[in-house]
C-alpha cells in the first residue's frame, strides 16, 4: 500500500541535479579569405588563452577548425586543417601541452552562420577553442573532476508527504513532519533542501571512492546512495520513531541484503558499518510508461553520405632508405730505394770485378727495382680509382638517404591525413546507425526515455567488423603520431623489421589506446551543435513525455520490475550489501612508482576494493579472493597531470604486480572507466 500512498500524496518536484562546476572559457580566432595565417588580433586572443591556462594546475583544450563554403569540399577540409595547425603550433610554441589538446577540423561542414552573405562567411572562417581548467591537488580532485557532480537537488515542504525520484530510479518517500533540526525542532512549511546521490555501478564507486568493505570483510553490493537534508545550511535529522522509505533499482538482486552506513577512512575511502536492518526485495507491478513520436523524416535528412573508399585508402608498409658504409682509402705504397754501390758489392767483387762490370750489375738492379716500384704504383692507382668511384657513389647514396628520410616522414603525414579522413567517415557511419536506431524506436513506440542530442552520441554504434576496424584505425592513427615525433635513428632501431616499417605490426597485440570506444564520436558531438531544430524537437518531445507521466502520476520513467526497499532512520551514505561468501583471500602486492590510488573491481561479487600504501614506499597491498577475475584501476597525478592504467588479472597466490600508469586526460579516464 505504500506505493499507492506515494502516488496519492506526491508533491511534484523538478529533477535538477547539480552538474560538475566546470571552469571553462571559450576562445575563437577568425581568418581572412583563403588564409590560415594568424594576425596580431589573433595573437592577443591566444595569448589570453595561454595566460589563463597557465594559472591552473591542469587544463584541457578542445579545438575545432572551420571554413566558409567558397571552394571545393576537399580544399576547404585541408584549409581548416591548416588553420587548426596554425593555432596548435602557436599554443605549443608558447608552452601549452599538445597531449591535452583534442583537435578536429571540418572544412565547410559546420557553419556557424549563413554563407549567403560576406558577414556570415567571415564568422564561419574560424577556429574555436574550449579551455577547461582544473585545480587538481590530489586524486580526490581528479576523480571528482572526471566523474562530475553526482548531487541531485530538490526543494520540499516538510509539512507534507514528499516523493523524490532520482535520475537512475531511486525512489525516496519522506513522510510529513518527519524531519527535525539538530536541536529537535519540527520544521513547518519551510523549504528544505534534499540532496540525493546515486551509486549503482562500478563507475560510480571509482569516481566517488566507495569500497565494498566492512570491518575488513568483503561485501557484495546491490547499490549505494547518499541522502541528506538541510535547511539554511544546517544539517537535518530524521525524527526518532520515524523512517524514510527507499526503493532502489539494482541489477544485482540477492537475498539477505542489509543496510550498511558509511564513513570515510584515513585514505578518504568510504567503508561500511552493518546495521542488521534488512534491505529486502520488492516486486512491483510493471508500469507501462508513455511514449512519444518524433519527426523521423527530418532525422532521415540528417544522415551522412559515407565515402567507403576513404576507409581503406591507407598504406601500411614502407621500405626505409639504406646507406652504404664509407670505404677505406688505399694506402700509398712504400717504394724501394736504389742500393748504395759500396754496400751492394762485397769486398771480393770490388777486388776481382772490373769497374765496368760492377756498373752493369748495379744498373740491372736499378732496373729491377724500377719495375717493382712501377707495379706497386700501378696497383695503387687502380685502388685509388676504385676508391674515388666508391666515394662519389657514397655521396650520391647519402643524399638519396637524406631525401629518403624526408620522403618517409612525408609518407607518414600523408597516412595521418588519410587516417583522419577514414576516422571521420567511420564516425559518420556510427552517427547514421544512431539515427536509424532512433527512427526504429520511434516507429516501434519505444521512445520512453528523456531525449537529448547526446542520445545520438551514446548510440553511435557499429557492426563487430566495423567496430574492430574503427578501433584499429584509431590505434594506427596514434602510432603514426608517435612515429612522426620519433627521430629516424629511433625508428630504424625500434620499429623497423628487415628495413621496413609496418603500421599494422602492433594491432594484434593488446590495444594500446583502448580508452577509445564507440561513444567517442567527435563528428556526432560537433554536428548536433549545428542543428538547433534537433534540440528543439527533443525538448518538445520531453515536454510531451512529462505531461503524459504527470497524468499517470509517475514523476520518472525509471521503473523496474524488481527493486530493493528499506526503511532508513538516518541521513547519510547508505549501502545495500551483504557479506560475500568469499573463497580464500590472498595478499596481492603492487609496486607503483607514481603516487596513485589503486583499486580492484571483482565482477563476480560486484565488489570494489582498494589497496593500501605501505608507509612512504612504492609498495601497495590488498587482500583479494583467490581464483576470481579482477580489474585493476590505477588513477593518480604525476607532475600535475593525470595518469591512468587499467588491467585484467586472475587472482592467484603470490601474485605480484608492477603498475605503470601512463599520462592521459580526464576524458580518456572517463571513457576507460565506462568500459568496466
Could you say which of 3.30.1330.60, 3.30.1490.270, 3.40.50.620, 3.10.450.50 is the CATH number of the domain covering 20-143?
3.30.1330.60
Q: Please compute the mean of the pLDDT values over residues 126-131 and round it to a whole number.
A: 94
State the CATH architecture for 585-673. Sandwich (2.60)
Q: Is the pLDDT of residue 3 over 70?
A: no
pLDDT at 123 over 90: yes
Mean pLDDT lowest for which of 201-205, 282-286, 429-433? Answer: 282-286
Confidence of residue 520 (pLDDT cuts 50, 70, 90): low
Residues 6+ apart with CB under 8 A from 642: 58, 136, 142, 146, 635, 636, 663, 664, 665, 666, 669
Question: What's the confidence (pLDDT) of residue 286?
Answer: 55
Residue 2 confidence (pLDDT) = 28
CA separation for the pair 631, 184 (Å, rounded): 46
Query: Span 564-591, mean pLDDT?
Result: 87
From 147, 151, 150, select the one nearest 139 (Cα to Cα).
147
Backbone torsions φ then ψ of 308, nearest 5 degrees: -70, -25
Residue 533, H or E segment:
helix 532-552
Looking at the chain, the whole-number percentage of residues with pLDDT higher than 90 is 23
- Classify residue 184 by its DSSP letter: -
CA dihedral 351, 357, 360, 361 (to 10 degrees): -50
The residue ranking higher by pLDDT, 410 or 253, is 410
Q: Is the pTM of this model over 0.85?
A: no
pLDDT > 70? residue 11: no
What pLDDT is recorded for position 353? 83
Q: What is the pLDDT of residues 300-319, one digit of tens each?
A: 999 999 888 888 778 888 88
pLDDT at residue 402 in the model: 63
Cell numbers placing 330: 688505399
User: What are the tens digits of pLDDT across the range 437-488?
Assistant: 899 999 999 888 777 777 787 777 777 778 778 878 888 888 888 888 888 7
Helix/strand/coil percent split, the chain, to 5? 40, 25, 35
Question: What is the structure's pLDDT at 83?
Answer: 93
Average model confidence (pLDDT) across the chain: 82
Which residue shows C-alpha cell 525512489?
A: 171
* Max mean pLDDT range (66-75, 309-318, 492-501): 66-75
pLDDT score of 635? 93
565 pLDDT more than 50: yes
The arithmetic mean of pLDDT across residues 313-330, rounded, is 74
Whether the per-residue pLDDT at 8 is higher than 50: the answer is no
Transcribe 268-327 into DSSP letters. Answer: S-EEEEEEEEE-EEEE-PPP--------HHHHHHHPPPP-GGGGG----EEEPP--PPPP
For residue 377, pLDDT beyond 80: yes
H-only helix segments in 444-498: 454-458, 464-484, 488-494
List the CATH code of the domain at 2-9+150-287+554-579: 2.60.220
Determine which of 158-172, 407-421, 499-513 has the lowest per-residue pLDDT on average: 499-513
What is the C-alpha radius of gyration for the chain, rounded to an integer number of angstroms? Answer: 38
Residues 6+ apart with CB under 8 A from 612: 267, 620, 621, 622
CA of residue 266 relative to chain centroid, distance: 30
Q: What is the pLDDT of residue 9?
A: 27
Domain ranges of the chain: 2-9+150-287+554-579, 20-143, 296-529, 585-673
CB 248 within 8 A of CB 221: no
pLDDT grade, residue 14 (50/70/90)? very low
Mean pLDDT of 537-556: 72
Give the model confidence (pLDDT) of 207-257 as tens digits. 999 998 888 889 888 888 999 999 988 999 998 888 899 988 887 777 888
Q: In terms of C-beta density within 10 A (0-12 exposed, 13-18 middle, 19 or more buried), how is residue 25 classed?
A: middle
Among the listed ranges 276-285, 378-387, 443-452, 496-505, which one has the minimum average pLDDT value?
276-285
Contact status, residue 125 vs residue 33, Cβ threshold 8 Å: yes
**Percentage of the chain lying above the pLDDT 70 cut:** 88
Amino acid at each position: 500500500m505504500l506505493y499507492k500512498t506515494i502516488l496519492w500524496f506526491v508533491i511534484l518536484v523538478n529533477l535538477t541535479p547539480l552538474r560538475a562546476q566546470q571552469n571553462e572559457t571559450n576562445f575563437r580566432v577568425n581568418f581572412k579569405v583563403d588564409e590560415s595565417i594568424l594576425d596580431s588580433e589573433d595573437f592577443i586572443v591566444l595569448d589570453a588563452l595561454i595566460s589563463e591556462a597557465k594559472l591552473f594546475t591542469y587544463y584541457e583544450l578542445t579545438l575545432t577548425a572551420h571554413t566558409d563554403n567558397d571552394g571545393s569540399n576537399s580544399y576547404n577540409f585541408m584549409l581548416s586543417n591548416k588553420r587548426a595547425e596554425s593555432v596548435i603550433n602557436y599554443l605549443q610554441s608558447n608552452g601549452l601541452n599538445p597531449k591535452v589538446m583534442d583537435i578536429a577540423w571540418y572544412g565547410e561542414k559546420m557553419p556557424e552562420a549563413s554563407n549567403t552573405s560576406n558577414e556570415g562567411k567571415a564568422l564561419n572562417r574560424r577556429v574555436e577553442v574550449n579551455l577547461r581548467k582544473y585545480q587538481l591537488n590530489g586524486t580526490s580532485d581528479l576523480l571528482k573532476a572526471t566523474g562530475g557532480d553526482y548531487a541531485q537537488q530538490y526543494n520540499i515542504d516538510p509539512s507534507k508527504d514528499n516523493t523524490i525520484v532520482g535520475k537512475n530510479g531511486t525512489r525516496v518517500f519522506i513522510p510529513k513532519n518527519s524531519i527535525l533540526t539538530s536541536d529537535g525542532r519540527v520544521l513547518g512549511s519551510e523549504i528544505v533542501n534534499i540532496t540525493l546521490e546515486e551509486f549503482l555501478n562500478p563507475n560510480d564507486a571509482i569516481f566517488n571512492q566507495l569500497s565494498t568493505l566492512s570491518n575488513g570483510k568483503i561485501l557484495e553490493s546491490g547499490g549505494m546512495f547518499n541522502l541528506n537534508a538541510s535547511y539554511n545550511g544546517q544539517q537535518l535529522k530524521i525524527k526518532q520513531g520515524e523512517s524514510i522509505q527507499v526503493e532502489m533499482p539494482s541489477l544485482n538482486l540477492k537475498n539477505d541484503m542489509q543496510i550498511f552506513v558509511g564513513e570515510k577512512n584515513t585514505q578518504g575511502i568510504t567503508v561500511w558499518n552493518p546495521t542488521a536492518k534488512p534491505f529486502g526485495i520488492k516486486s512491483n507491478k510493471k508500469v507501462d510508461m508513455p511514449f512519444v513520436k518524433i519527426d523521423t523524416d527530418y532525422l532521415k535528412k540528417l544522415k551522412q553520405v559515407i565515402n567507403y573508399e576513404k576507409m581503406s585508402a591507407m598504406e601500411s608498409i614502407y621500405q626505409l632508405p639504406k646507406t652504404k658504409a664509407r670505404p677505406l682509402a688505399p694506402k700509398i705504397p712504400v717504394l724501394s730505394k736504389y742500393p748504395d754501390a759500396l754496400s751492394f758489392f762485397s769486398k771480393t767483387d770490388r777486388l776481382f770485378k772490373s769497374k765496368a762490370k760492377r756498373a752493369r750489375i748495379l744498373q740491372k738492379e736499378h732496373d729491377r727495382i724500377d719495375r717493382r716500384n712501377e707495379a706497386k704504383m700501378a696497383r695503387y692507382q687502380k685502388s685509388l680509382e676504385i676508391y674515388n668511384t666508391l666515394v662519389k657513389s657514397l655521396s650520391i647514396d647519402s643524399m638519396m638517404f637524406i631525401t629518403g628520410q624526408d620522403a618517409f616522414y612525408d609518407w607518414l603525414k600523408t597516412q595521418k591525413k588519410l587516417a583522419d579522413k577514414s576516422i571521420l567517415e567511420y564516425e559518420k557511419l556510427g552517427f547514421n546507425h544512431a539515427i536509424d536506431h532512433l527512427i526504429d524506436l520511434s516507429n516501434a513506440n519505444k521512445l520512453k526515455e528523456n531525449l537529448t542530442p547526446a542520445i545520438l552520441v551514446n548510440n553511435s554504434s557499429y557492426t563487430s567488423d566495423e567496430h574492430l576496424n574503427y578501433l584499429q584505425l584509431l590505434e594506427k592513427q596514434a602510432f603514426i603520431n608517435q612515429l612522426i615525433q620519433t627521430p629516424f635513428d629511433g625508428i630504424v632501431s625500434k620499429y623497423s623489421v628487415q628495413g621496413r616499417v609496418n603500421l599494422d605490426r602492433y594491432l594484434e597485440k593488446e590495444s594500446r589506446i583502448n580508452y577509445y570506444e564507440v561513444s567517442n564520436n567527435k563528428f556526432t558531438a560537433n554536428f548536433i551543435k549545428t542543428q538547433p531544430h534537433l534540440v528543439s524537437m527533443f525538448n518538445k518531445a520531453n515536454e510531451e513525455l512529462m505531461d503524459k507521466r504527470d497524468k499517470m502520476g509517475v514523476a520518472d520513467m525509471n521503473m523496474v520490475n524488481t527493486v530493493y526497499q528499506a526503511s532508513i532512520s538516518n541521513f547519510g551514505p547508505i549501502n545495500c550489501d551483504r557479506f560475500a561468501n568469499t573463497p580464500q583471500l590472498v595478499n596481492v602486492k603492487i609496486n607503483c612508482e607514481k603516487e596513485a590510488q589503486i583499486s580492484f573491481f571483482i565482477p563476480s561479487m560486484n565488489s570494489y576494493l582498494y589497496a593500501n600504501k605501505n608507509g612512504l614506499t612504492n609498495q601497495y597491498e590488498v587482500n583479494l579472493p583467490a581464483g576470481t577475475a579482477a580489474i585493476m584501476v590505477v588513477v593518480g597525478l604525476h607532475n600535475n597531470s593525470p595518469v591512468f592504467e587499467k588491467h585484467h588479472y586472475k587472482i592467484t597466490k603470490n601474485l605480484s604486480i608492477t603498475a605503470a600508469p601512463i599520462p592521459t586526460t580526464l576524458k580518456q579516464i572517463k571513457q576507460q572507466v565506462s568500459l568496466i
